[in-house]
Amino acid sequence: MNKKYFGTDGIRGEVGNPPITPDFMLKLGWAFGNVLSKKISTKEKLEVIIGKDTRVSGYMFESALEAGLVSSGVDVRLLGPMPTPAVATITCMLKASAGIVISASHNAYSDNGVKFFGKDGEKICDHDELAIEAKIEEKLVTVSSDSLGKASRIDTADEMYMNFCKSTVKNNFNLHGVRLALDCANGATYHLAPRIFDEMGAKIISLGISPDGFNINRDVGSTSISALVQTVKENDVDLGIAFDGDGDRVLFVDNKGDVIDGDQLLYLLALKKQRSDGIEGVVGTEMSNLGLENAFRDMKINFCRAKVGDRYVKQMMRDRRWSLGGESSGHIICGDVTTTGDGIVAALQILSALDFLGLSLRDSVKGMQKHPQCLINVPSSSSSVMEDPSILKEIKIVREKLGDNGRVLLRPSGTEPVVRVMVEAENAEEARFACEQLAKKIQAACS
């Protein structure tokens, strides 16, 4: 079945336009509570953890979801501003029934959305999403007054999550003498990441730590990384770290100002594992650079591609019993220490790996040669273009021309009304030319 509301990572859209409205969020909370009640058989009261990023609309949707859940008989525990992975972690720590995050991740403040975690701290599956959508179509019926849920706040959430993050590296690991530039995107990590890295001994220059409800991801963070690049270049620091608005992505900048993306970070972590505990395989996605696949082939490390979306990466990791996976965008899942993509945890694992390898960030990724990649987003509200015979013919021509030295990928975005056109080739000019030609044909087909 096709989903009506859920995309690649939860439900997301522009605030005020359906379904990102208060009345829908009320119904969504109620529907989720009812699905939980059928899914989890327990005599105890069901409990759902709710966290949010720093968007001004988060207050409105927090209240609406809370009301919907309470009306279904579910207790609610509110965290306030908190990274997406922190909600997953705290859900597990408190043995709650589920977790909800109010966030549109790397999007602008004018968007918002909802992500769901099960009691195991992992994103809910397609089956549960379909069950929620089916329930939304039913009439909202409030439970009797003696069965209503209650709402309360968790005042110790910051300390719980900070202590967890620090526990994911060895006790004797510290950052004394390390100079970091830290970009928190004016998002959910603004009050946590600087404290964690400071307490571990690093000297920090911070940016993106003054959220006002409207400036999340604005000219800062992992999707606007030029601010961090400039900060690294202008200051005598060893490296830079950038999170996105909800803290589940991380990118690095080396001491020369070059961006180190998610594929390179996966390579680095795999290199460390190979030299320490050993590693059988790594999960990437359809968007992972061909250079990463080639590097793992040379290292005799298995590599598999999942659909785009960190929950699909985690599913393949689970199926293959591998502990490492991620996306080019910076979703890094360190499955031996956490359940989902976690920017702060991944950053600590990277820093620990560099310490183990005795290498600078720049030197640690030299063994992976990235293929030039061109990505163009073509506005489209329909995925039917993916089946257009003329487009399929053009894709075949480009693939034959590139051979084994390139890749072509078309996919509708799960978070935006666009079709993503990606081409990799041996040189940047060839990749750009092929990508632009495909994008023009798709644009014509959509018009």
What's the rounded Cα separation, in Å, for the pair 174 and 180? 13
What residue type is assigned to position 196 of the chain? I
To the nearest 10°, the Cα dihedral for 242, 247, 250, 255?
A: 20
For the chain, give percent helix, strand, coil, nearest 5. Answer: 40, 20, 40
Residues pairing with 102 in the sheet: 52, 114
Q: Are 413 and 349 in contact (CB under 8 A)?
A: no
What's the rounded Cα separation, in Å, for the pair 427 and 418? 26
Of 147, 189, 170, 178, nearest in space to 360 by CA: 178
Active site residue 210: no
Core vs surface per residue 383-413: b (16+ CB within 10 A) or e: eebeebeebeebbeebeeebeeebbbbbbbb
Structure tokens at 6: 């859920």
Sign for the CA dihedral angle at 208, 209, 215, 221 comes to positive
126-136 vs 22-39: helix axis angle to the nearest 10?
A: 120
Q: Where are the alpha helices (DSSP H) in 276-427?
A: 290-299, 310-320, 343-357, 361-364, 389-402
Q: 71, 97, 105, 288: which is the annotated catalytic residue?
A: 105
Residues pairing with 242 in the sheet: 183, 251
- Nearest-5° angle of CA 338, CA 342, CA 232? 140
Strand extents, DSSP E, 29-110: 47-52, 75-81, 98-102
- φ/ψ of residue 196, rounded to 5: -60, -50
Alpha-carbon distances of 105 from 113, 121, 266, 388, rounded to whole Å: 8, 18, 21, 32
Catalytic residues: 105
